[in-house]
């Protein structure tokens, strides 16, 4: 699978968001990752449906809404302008129904799994998802250290996908940097949401350099 880099605008200067997004695109970003936080599921607040709508008019990059909210089923329809909606698997009582709703909205579907949750219960759903996103930090804040233990989850997912010729992406969110991305690709990840490491300096250079590091050791 090709490497997919999705800069997470949580780490961008939101007073100059258009410039940050243009720089990420110039560096070769494959999409933009937009964290939505409600102060309940996580103890923080972040973007809204309006962010997705506004960004659609300033970039051609696909927009991924990552819903870190307590009740995503109630608000999915608000994110129909996104190309992909990613839900936390522990926030929905009926993952199959949630995925079906996302598809009906015309969006691609992603599922994120927290560090303390197993991936095995999600395996039956993989044919219906475009992205299985392994959280390598606790959701809520950027800039946290990468949890190396999540590489085992990635290896298991990679083996499972290879055995079934699956087509979904295997992603990591949290703590991805030049120091960690090669370990992640070596373990079999091919999709990365990258916050601080993408926006700390010039996003155009950062995204380009991250891709080079990822491609140096891809599984
Ligand atoms: C955390 C978010 C991440 C965050 C990653 O709740 O889901 O997307 O932006 O930030 P970094 O890359 O700084 O860990
Ligand atoms: Zn995220």
- The Cα–Cα gap between 16 and 111 comes to 30
Which residue has the least CA distance to atom 12 on ligand 1? 195
Distance 103 CA to ligand 2 centre (A): 20
Spacing, Cα 145 to ligand 1 middle (Å): 10
Nearest atom within ligand 1 for CA of residue 198: 12
Any bridge partners for residue 134, and if so which?
A: 113, 172
Residue 219 confidence (pLDDT)? 52
Ligand 1 site residues (CB inside 6 A) read 8, 10-11, 33, 35, 66, 68, 137, 139-140, 142-144, 173-176, 193-197
Each residue's pLDDT tens digit, 81-101:
999 999 999 999 999 999 999
pLDDT band at 1 (very low <50, low <70, confident <90, very high): confident
The stretch 44-51 carries a mean pLDDT of 98
Q: How many domains does the chain have?
A: 1
pLDDT of residue 217: 77
Mean of pLDDT values over 40-59: 98
Atom of ligand 1 nearest to the CA of 44: 6
Q: Is the pTM of this model over 0.95?
A: yes
**Where would I find the beta strands (DSSP E) of the chain?**
4-7, 32-37, 63-68, 84-88, 108-113, 131-135, 169-173, 191-194
Q: pLDDT tens digits, residue range 98-124?
A: 999 999 999 999 999 999 999 999 999
Q: Assign residue 80 the CATH number of its domain.
A: 3.20.20.70
Predicted local confidence at residue 114, as pLDDT: 98
CA of 176, closest atom in ligand 1 = 12
Answer whether residue 56 shows pLDDT above 80: yes
Phi/psi at 7 (nearest 5 deg)? -60, 135
- pLDDT, mean over the chain: 97
Q: Residue 14's domain spans which residues?
A: 4-218
Residue 218 has pLDDT above 90, yes or no: no
- How close is the Cα of 7 to the center of ligand 2, in Å? 9
Q: Whose CA is nearest to atom 7 of ligand 1?
A: 139
């Amino acid at each position: 699978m090709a490497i997919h880099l999705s800069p997470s605008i949580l780490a961008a200067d939101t007073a100059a968001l258009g410039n940050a997004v243009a720089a990420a695109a110039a560096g070769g970003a494959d999409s933009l990752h937009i964290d939505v936080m409600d102060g309940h599921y996580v103890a923080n607040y972040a973007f809204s449906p309006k962010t997705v709508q506004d960004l659609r008019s300033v970039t051609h990059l696909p927009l991924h809404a990552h819903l870190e909210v307590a009740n995503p089923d109630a608000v999915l329809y608000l994110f129909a302008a996104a190309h992909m909606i990613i839900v936390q698997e522990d926030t929905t009582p009926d993952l199959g129904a949630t995925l079906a709703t996302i598809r009906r909205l015309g969006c691609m579907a992603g599922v994120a799994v927290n560090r303390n949750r197993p991936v095995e219960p999600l395996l039956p759903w993989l044919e219906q998802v475009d992205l299985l996103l392994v959280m390598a930090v606790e959701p809520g804040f950027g800039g946290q250290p990468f949890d190396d233990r999540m590489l085992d989850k990635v290896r298991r997912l990679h083996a499972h996908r290879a055995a079934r010729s699956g087509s979904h992406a295997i992603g990591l969110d949290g703590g991805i940097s030049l120091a960690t991305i090669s370990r992640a690709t070596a373990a079999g990840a091919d999709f990365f949401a990258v916050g601080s490491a993408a926006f700390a300096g010039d996003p155009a250079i950062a995204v380009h350099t991250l891709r080079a590091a990822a491609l140096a050791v891809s599984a």
